[in-house]
Amino acid sequence: MNMNNSVMIEAEPYSFEFFPKQCALLIIDMQRDFLEGGGFGAMLGNDVAQLRRTIEPNRTLLSIWRAAGLLVIHTREGHRSDLRDLPLSKKIRGQSRPCIGDVGPMGRILVRGEPGHDIIPELYPLPNESIIDKPGKGAFYATDLHVILQNLNITQLIITGVTTEVCVNTTVREANDRGYDCLVLEDCVGSYFPEFQTAGLNMIKAQKGIFGWVSRSAKVLAILGKLT
C-alpha cells in the first residue's frame, strides 16, 4: 500500500477514509494515577480494571503504528507544581480529600513531574514522540497541540485512551470544531462506568457521525499490516 493513498477503514456510522501521512495516533491520559491500583482513581473508589482492559489493545496498536513510521502523540492531564493553572472550582469539585495538588498514593495528585502523573510503562513514549501536558479535559485547551498538528499537515486523528466520556469526548469535540476527522477505537478507550462507555461512543457516532467515527483496533491493524 502506498502511504500517499487513502484506504477505507470499516467504522460506524460509515467507513472512515484513512490518509496515513495526514493522520496521528493520539493516546489520551494513559497515566499511572488513573490506571494503576495505587493511584488517584482507585483512591476515589473506582474500578481500575475497567481502564486497564485498554492497555493491551493500545500496546499492540502502538507497536504496529510505530513500525509503520506514523506520528504518535501522547497527552497527560496535570498541573504546574505551583498550581497556578488549577482553577479553584476544579480543585474543590467533588469535595474529595485529598484533592488535586495534595499528596496522594503516587506523589502530589495530578501535578506534573510526580510519579502518578506519568504515563504507564506499557505505553511509555519514545524520545521522538510528543507529549502534550494539558491542564484541562480537552487536549487542545491551553496547549500547543493544534499548532503541532498544523505544522505537520495532520488532518485526521485516531484517538485512544481514557476516559471515554470525559477527556476522550472533550478532545474529539474540540478537534471536530477545528476541522479534524476523528476515529475513536472502542476497545482502546475506557471508562470506570460501563454505561458511560456506551453512551460516550454513541454520542460520537450519532447523527451520521456528528463528532466522528467509531471502530475497533483490529480494523486499523488490518490496514497497518499492509504498510509495514
The total domain count for the chain is 1
Is 23 an active-site residue? no
CATH, residue 206 = 3.40.50.850
pTM over 0.95? The answer is yes
Q: Answer yes or no: is 75 within a domain.
A: yes
Q: Answer yes or no: is 215 within a domain.
A: yes
pLDDT at residue 93, as a whole number: 83
* Residue type for position 204: I
Q: Answer yes or no: is 165 within a domain.
A: yes
pLDDT at residue 1, as a whole number: 64
Q: Answer yes or no: is 205 within a domain.
A: yes
Q: Answer yes or no: is 65 within a domain.
A: yes
Is 137 an active-site residue? no
pLDDT at residue 227, as a whole number: 79
pLDDT at residue 4, as a whole number: 82
Q: What SS3 state is found at 108?
A: strand
Domain limits for position 181: 7-225
Question: 23, 33, 134, 205: which is the annotated catalytic residue?
Answer: 134
Q: Answer yes or no: is 91 within a domain.
A: yes
Is 219 an active-site residue? no
Long-range contacts of 66-72 (CB under 8 A, 24+ apart): 66/126, 67/224, 67/228, 68/20, 68/224, 68/227, 68/228, 70/20, 70/23, 70/24, 70/25, 70/227, 71/23, 71/24, 71/25, 71/152, 71/154, 72/24, 72/25, 72/27, 72/125, 72/126, 72/129, 72/130
Q: Answer yes or no: is 121 within a domain.
A: yes
Question: 23, 167, 182, 188: which is the annotated catalytic residue?
Answer: 167
Over the chain (228 residues), the average pLDDT of each successive run of 10 is 88 98 98 95 93 98 97 98 96 82 94 98 98 98 98 98 98 98 98 98 98 98 87
pLDDT at residue 226, as a whole number: 84
Contact 65, 59 (CB under 8 A): no
User: CA 7, 63, 35: angle at the middle one, nearest 5?
Assistant: 115
